[in-house]
Amino acid sequence: MEIRDPIHGNIAVGPVEERIIDTPEMQRLRYIKQLDLSYLVFTGANNTRFEHSLGTMQVCKDLFLGALGRDEAEFSYVGLLHDIGHGPFSHLSEPYIERAIGKNHEQLGEERIRTSEISDIISDSGMSLNKILAYFRGSEKINVVGGALGADRIDYLMRDSLYTGVAYGIIDYDRLKTRLVLYKGRVAVLESGISGAESMLIARYFMHSNVYMHHAKVIAAQMLGKAMGMAVTERAIEPREMWDMTDEELLISLRKSGIKAVEDLTRRVVERRLYKRAYDGPIGPGVTLDEVKRAAGRAGLDDSEFIAHVIKLGGDTDDITVVDRDGRRVGKLTEVSPFIKTLMDVLARKRLIVACDRKNVAKLRAAVAKVV
């Protein structure tokens, strides 16, 4: 079977992969947006985890066949399945689900595979289920899917650039994929691929600061997160039920939760009547989010009336080894590339966003200014 894809053209799907795709667990990913509420800012950003899962599978195959020279079946299944544990709006619901259930989306991914037909399909195919589940348990050494130059990231940068219309994430994938190799069982980059790796990691940073962390998107996400948190705390929604929902099912549930603050917040998000920024900038090294929240409280705002969120990108870019044509280690990319060294510093920065209804912005701004 072939599936038409705006990024990869035709994605060839083998019979086992087709059986996996046909399960309700995979079909559900059609209803989980890749970029949660980014569509409120970038109107084309309606792309889903489903197409990204297919794309990640394709990149896994490209990398294994083209560059890494390894048997690929299990890895392409990992690429296909890597997002299966997500709740509605992916990372947005994850903390609330994790707090209630005690598992993150990768651990829940393992659970979803084990408890569904998917594990049977894999076992029937003669592949090693354990080898696949190792990815979800974090015990898989090869970082082809999840690494700093992994298939997940390669696919989403290209895909999100297309749908948002923001060109920063256009990476030179054709070129990069010929420059990746395995070194001691992990994805490494050839010297001739340093520009490709630099370019991709910087592209990701630009996508983060311009798209993924666009202030209006962060505010919308925090508003909806607050609604989710309240709904879970007050047991208006059972966490396990929430985990199984699609994006829209959650929006509908929240709007019918019976809790006024939850319903109001959700309606504001859906109709894009978002909080306005009272603060958007650096946060002092010793300042905690709790202090910011207390300051808001002193300004007379109830916890449900504002959002305060600290963004820290963090960095796993120290992960990448550069090797020469003969397969010898040249060094870490952070040592070899001054850009990536700088990127590490930039990624370590913290940014605080505080927002509330327009009518309270002035007093919240004054209160926050005193503590940051």
Residues contributing to the site for its own copies (CB under 8 A): 2-7, 9-10, 22, 24, 27, 30-31, 39-44, 46-48, 50-51, 54, 162-168, 170-172, 174-175, 178, 195, 198-199, 202, 206, 209-210, 246-249, 251-252, 270-273, 338-339, 341-343, 345-346
189, 332 in Cβ contact below 8 A?
A: no
Closest CB to its own copies among 172 and 264? 172
Cβ(211)–Cβ(160) below 8 Å: yes
With contact defined as beta carbons under 8 Å apart, do 311 and 213 qualify?
Answer: yes
- Whether residue 331 contacts residue 262, with contact meaning beta carbons closer than 8 Å, is answered with no
Least Å from the CB of residue 28 to its own copies: 8
Question: What's 236's DSSP letter?
Answer: S
In whole angstroms, the minimum distance from the beta carbon of 254 to its own copies comes to 13
Residue 280's SS3 state is strand
Helices (H), 47-172: 49-62, 73-81, 94-101, 105-114, 117-124, 129-137, 151-164
6: Cβ–Cβ under 8 A, 6 or more apart, which residues?
159, 162
In the bound state with its own copies, the residue whose beta carbon lies nearer, of 202 and 265, is 202
Nearer to its own copies, 162 or 289 (CB): 162
Rounded Cα–Cα distance for residues 361 and 276 (Å): 7
DSSP state at residue 320:
P
Smallest distance from its own copies to CB 51, Å: 4
Give 98 or 249: the residue with its C-beta nearer to its own copies.
Answer: 249
Q: CB-wise, 64 or 136, nearer to its own copies?
A: 64
Provide the minimum distance between the beta carbon of 177 and its own copies in the complex, in angstroms, as a whole number: 9
Nearer to its own copies, 211 or 301 (CB): 211
Residue 232 Cβ vs its own copies, minimum distance, rounded to whole Å: 20
Least distance to its own copies from the beta carbon of 206, Å?
5
**Residue 12 DSSP SS3:** strand
- 3-class secondary-structure state, position 233: helix
Parallel, antiparallel, or unpaired: how do β-strands 276-282 and 350-356 relate? antiparallel
